[in-house]
Amino acid sequence: MRNLLACLGCITMLSVAFPSAAEEHVVSISAYRFEPSKIRIRVGDTVRWLNMEKRTSHSVLFSTPDLESERLFPGESWSRRFDSPGTIVYGCGPHPEMSGTIEVTE
Ligand SMILES: [Cu+2]
């Protein structure tokens, strides 16, 4: 029991010392889908899209602001950091049927 309490104390101290370490989240692209198609991240986190297709290229397209990655060929990836809260729906330039959602929370 004493060990358990010491352990909990340790975790509490760590979370106080590092309140919001930014994280990287990976969204893979395969079979013409973003996977996971919906993710929740925190302000300051980065999302990296990784093209896992065998031969199809994709992009990551945002309408506000108007921003599109370069065309990602199989094995390539592209990252974007999110600095303000909100829900962002994005797509793929060449394949309008593809879409994904990022919920950025404080
Ligand atoms: Cu695509």
Q: Closest by alpha carbon to 78, among 31, 21, 28? A: 28
User: In Å, how far from its chain's centre is CA 82?
Assistant: 9
Q: What range defines the domain where residue 38 resides?
A: 22-105
Ligand 1 centroid, distance to 58 Cα (angstroms):
4
In a domain? residue 1: no
Residue 64 vs residue 20, higher pLDDT:
64
Ligand 1 centroid, distance to 99 Cα (angstroms):
9
pLDDT (tens digit, 9 = 90+) per residue, 25-73?
999 999 999 999 999 999 999 999 999 999 999 999 999 889 999 999 9
Near ion ligand 1, which residues have CB within 5 Å? 58, 92, 95, 98
The confidence band for 17, taking pLDDT boundaries of 50, 70 and 90, is low
Ligand 1 centroid, distance to 44 Cα (angstroms):
26
Give the C-alpha separation, 4 to 26, whole Å.
33
Task: Work out how many domains the chain is built from and give that number.
Answer: 1
Ligand 1 centroid, distance to 92 Cα (angstroms):
5
Q: How many CB atoms neighbour CB 96 within 10 A?
A: 9
Ligand 1 centroid, distance to 53 Cα (angstroms):
10
Ligand 1 centroid, distance to 20 Cα (angstroms):
32
Residue pair 13/33 in contact (Cβ under 8 Å)? The answer is: no
Whole-model pTM? Answer: 0.81
CATH number at residue 46: 2.60.40.420
| pLDDT computed for residue 13 by the predictor | 52
pLDDT (tens digit, 9 = 90+) per residue, 79-93?
999 999 999 999 999
In a domain? residue 16: no
Backbone φ and ψ of 15, nearest 5°: -70, -25
In a domain? residue 94: yes
Give the C-alpha separation, 78 to 13, whole Å.
34
| pLDDT computed for residue 19 by the predictor | 60
Provide the token pair at 59.
């992009």
| pLDDT computed for residue 25 by the predictor | 98
In a domain? residue 34: yes
